[in-house]
Amino acid sequence: MPFVDIRLAGSATREQKAALVADITQSLVERLGKPAAAVQINITELSLENYGAGGQLIADRAPSPAAALSSREDANAAVSPQ
């Protein structure tokens, strides 16, 4: 029985987590021949204030250009009908 433990710095939407679970399960089925019902996946979301790297809390780091772009795209998607 495969056990997969995912730790995310920050959070993900329910839809994103459901897609991760589906994708990882399918990969284990295809790559290892495991039955989907046997795959166990745990997702833990870590508060950016409870996780550090390089001697600094992640919450205190300046946002990366990619993260800033992603935030702007998310905000635009929320207000722009598609």
Catalogue the active-site residues.
2
d(CA 23, CA 30): 11
- What lies within 8 Å, CB to CB, of 45 at 6+ separation is 8, 10, 11, 12
Closest by CA to 39, choosing from 66, 3, 82, 75, is 3
